RNA sequence: UCCUUCUUAGCUCAGCUGGUUAGAGCACAUGACUGUUAAUCAUGGGGUCCCUGGUUCGAGCCCAGGAGAGGGAGCCA
């Protein structure tokens, strides 16, 4: 007899059919009631065993965490709390779980503790929900771009390109690091290394993505990226997944339209397909916020916040307008900002972004046209000579979730800017070739996937939305 | 990397002004009960008080250094 997944069983009308279920025991109450979970849904299936006829040695092995197979009759539940249950005729222990040593208990654990046992935290309600939503969002990303006719391109993980300046890179080498070969000057001789040169893990697939966009028109990458920054925050990982679309013949506004449409599409997909999990996470968040003082609690529940994002256009303002709003704000005048806004040209701090999103506009905000000094070399220079065609999307509670721009397609302008900043042209000659041969206006953006998952699940630490987080001083599993 | 708070049983935490044998709830074990919903009741076992050094007659508590974690900041996605 084949196994039926619990998600499907719970939707079935009981007609006394005999079924077999397999899963892991969450709790075993009263020597009779097994709460069984197989990860297909957050809801458990109640399996009722008759302890008067079930052998004692089987009953003793039905412990929290054990894998079991149960065969029995699906009936309408005789107790409250569930609609159907399985009246077991036989229970088989597939894998024992020593109750004394199994770390998960049928009670609340701290997220910090569960992070230490990340290999087992999938078996909790919270992480079950989080990773089902994560899966759903990843699928929705591919679905969205596929429906739009975008080509999914795999940009390299190991790269010799280090000119992007997005952050510290992880070095990749095959050398015995205690004794690397040296050249005549005593420097490490990378000519003898595996790739014959010094290489790193990628910090972004954007530059390679641009190359592909200059042939396929509309492409995206969705893969892991790596930053060796020693940043210890709830929003940063050393290894994270990034979605980077790149579109030929797109200008800044097209870029913003696409990013907004995509975010709304994937959020809607999660609401349509993972409502139970999101309801659970929404409730979880409410419980958690009850511990906070009234003024720190969010006004909207998680579900309402997600729906709000679907029903409202994102606010679009230029950097210059944003500076004006911040400078004129009571917050600034009363010197409540740690960094006061005084002049045009300063970079916005998290507190300013949060003020714009959470206090002033109270919705997602797209900030555009930043001063060129605080943005990357490849961003297209505006006619005012001061700003570039950049756009950042700021989300409540998350901050920057998307960073993008229209790219500089004019060869001379790009070369001049690279010279100003001190990026050797020869290092990126392959990149500049796209501007030499059939250049065209194009644009793209990067979306931190984990930050998206943070927003949709309402979790507050990025380490809790990726299965096995890599952060400074931590690379377990 | 900086600021700040924390680290006591498997988990969540209490531990007074530095004073004898370090506590509770949950979990676990044993027994009772048997339509439970984190079942309930009784009994029991369980400790490198993060590490190293110092002060003191005496340190879980005070001091110095280190490690790890949380929150905030910077950098960013």
What DSSP line would sit under A390-439, residue for residue? Answer: EEEEEETTTEEEEEEEEB---HHHHHHHHHHHT--GGGGHHHHHHHHSS-
**Beta carbons of A467 and A118 less than 8 angstroms apart:** yes
Phi, psi of A75 (to 5 degrees): -130, 165
What is residue A97's predicted lDDT score, i.e. its pLDDT? 92
From A350, A394, A389, select the one nearest A370 (Cα to Cα). Answer: A389
Residue A205 CA, distance from chain mean position:
17
Segment holding A221, helix H or strand E: strand A218-226
pLDDT tens per residue across all 477 residues of chain A: 578 999 999 999 998 899 999 999 999 999 999 999 999 999 999 999 999 888 888 999 999 999 999 999 999 998 888 999 999 999 999 999 998 889 998 778 999 999 999 999 999 999 999 999 999 999 999 999 999 999 999 999 999 876 566 678 899 999 988 889 998 998 899 999 999 998 999 999 999 999 999 999 999 999 999 999 888 899 999 999 999 999 999 999 999 999 999 999 999 999 999 999 999 999 999 888 877 767 667 778 999 999 999 999 999 999 999 999 999 888 888 888 888 888 898 899 989 999 999 889 989 999 999 999 999 999 999 999 999 999 999 998 888 999 999 999 999 999 999 999 888 898 899 999 999 999 999 999 999 999 999 999 999 999 999 999 999 888 888
In contact, A306 and A271? CB cutoff 8 Å = yes
A121 touches strand B (CB under 7 A): no
Q: Which nucleotides of B are covered by protein (CB under 7 A)?
A: 1-2, 10-13, 26-30, 33-39, 67-77
Backbone angles phi, psi at A408, to 5 degrees: -75, 110
DSSP string over A453-468 = HHHHHT-S-GGGSSSS
A244 nearest nucleotide via C1' and CA: B77
Do residues A345 and A390 make contact, with C-beta atoms less than 8 angstroms apart?
no
Q: In a 10 Å sphere around its CB, with 0-12 CB exposed, 13-18 middle and 19+ buried, how is residue A17 labelled?
A: exposed
If DSSP codes are grouped into helix, strand and coil, which group holds residue A83?
A: coil
Residue A445 CB: number of other CB atoms within 10 A?
24
Q: What is the pLDDT of residue A335?
A: 84
Strand B closer than 7 Å to the CB of A118? no
Q: How far is the CA of A122 from the C1' of B26 (A)?
A: 22
Distance, angstroms, CA A306 to C1' B26?
A: 35
* CA end-to-end span of chain A: 35
């Amino acid at each position: 007899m084949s196994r039926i997944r619990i998600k499907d069983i719970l939707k079935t009308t009981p007609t006394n059919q005999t079924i077999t279920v397999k899963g892991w025991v969450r709790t075993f109450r009263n020597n009779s009631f097994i709460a069984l979970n197989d990860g297909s849904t957050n809801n458990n299936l109640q399996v009722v065993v008759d302890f008067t006829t079930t052998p004692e040695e089987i009953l003793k092995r039905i412990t929290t965490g054990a894998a079991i197979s149960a065969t029995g009759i699906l009936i309408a539940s005789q107790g409250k709390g569930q609609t159907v249950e399985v009246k077991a005729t036989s229970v088989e222990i597939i894998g024992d779980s020593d109750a004394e040593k199994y770390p998960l208990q049928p009670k609340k654990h701290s997220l910090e503790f569960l992070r230490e046992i990340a290999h087992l935290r999938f078996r909790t309600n919270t992480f079950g929900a989080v990773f089902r939503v994560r899966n759903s969002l990843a699928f929705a990303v591919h679905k969205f771009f596929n429906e739009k006719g975008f080509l999914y391109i795999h940009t390299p993980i190991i790269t010799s390109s280090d000119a992007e300046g997005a952050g510290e890179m992880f070095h990749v080498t095959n050398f015995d690091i205690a004794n690397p070969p040296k050249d005549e000057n005593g420097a490490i001789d990378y000519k003898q290394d595996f790739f014959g040169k010094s290489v790193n893990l990628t910090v972004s697939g954007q530059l390679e993505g641009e190359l592909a966009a200059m042939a396929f028109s509309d492409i995206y990458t969705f893969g892991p990226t790596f930053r060796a920054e020693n940043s210890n925050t709830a929003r940063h990982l050393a290894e994270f997944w990034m979605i980077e679309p790149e579109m030929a013949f797109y200008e800044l506004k097209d870029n913003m339209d696409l990013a907004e449409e995509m975010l709304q599409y994937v959020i809607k997909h999660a609401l349509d397909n993972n409502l139970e999990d999101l309801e659970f996470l929404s409730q979880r968040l409410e419980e958690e916020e009850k511990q906070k003082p009234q003024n720190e609690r969010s006004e909207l529940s998680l579900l309402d916040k997600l729906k709000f994002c679907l029903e409202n256009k994102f606010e679009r303002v230029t950097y210059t307008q944003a500076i004006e709003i911040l400078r004129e704000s009571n917050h600034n005048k009363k010197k409540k900002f740690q960094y006061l806004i005084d002049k045009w040209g300063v970079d916005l701090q998290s507190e300013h972004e949060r003020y714009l999103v959470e206090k002033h506009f109270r919705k997602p905000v797209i900030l555009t046209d930043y001063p060129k000094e605080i943005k990357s070399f490849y961003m297209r220079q505006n006619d005012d000579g001061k700003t570039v065609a950049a756009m950042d999307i700021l989300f409540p509670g998350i901050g920057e979730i998307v960073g993008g721009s229209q790219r500089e397609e004019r060869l001379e302008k790009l070369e001049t800017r690279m010279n100003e900043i001190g990026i050797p042209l020869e290092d990126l000659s392959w990149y500049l070739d796209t501007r030499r041969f059939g250049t065209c206006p194009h644009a793209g953006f990067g979306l931190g996937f984990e930050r998206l998952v943070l927003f949709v699940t309402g979790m507050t630490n990025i380490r809790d939305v990726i299965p096995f987080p890599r952060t400074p001083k931590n690379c377990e599993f």
